[in-house]
Amino acid sequence: MHQPIFPERINPKEAAKILGVSIDTLAVWRCTKRYPLPYIKMGRKVFYRVADLEKFIESRTVLMGEFVFQQKRISS
């Protein structure tokens, strides 16, 4: 079976829907580099790789055990 040359790309509207944020929020993140979310820029068009969105979501996931540990450390 033929593999695509480029991984699956989606536009900012689709990326925003997956992440649960607005398109404007994604634009701010790109401009300010607030989060390490890679994107592809072709002229004025912007795309995101689905794999990059998945990695970003994984990197932002907080496990309850880690959260509880951080809370105890802060209150000590």
pLDDT in tens, the chain (76 residues): 556 666 699 999 999 999 999 999 999 999 999 998 999 999 999 999 999 999 999 888 887 765 554 545 554 4
Rounded Cα distance, 66 and 64, in Å: 5
pTM (two decimals): 0.72
DSSP-H helix ranges across 1-76:
12-19, 23-32, 50-59, 64-75
Rounded Cα distance, 41 and 57, in Å: 21
How many Cα neighbours within 13 Å face the side chain of 42? 7
The arrangement of secondary structure in 9-75, i.e. its CATH architecture, is Orthogonal Bundle (1.10)
Tell me the domain boundaries of the chain. Answer: 9-75
Residue 76 has a pLDDT of: 47
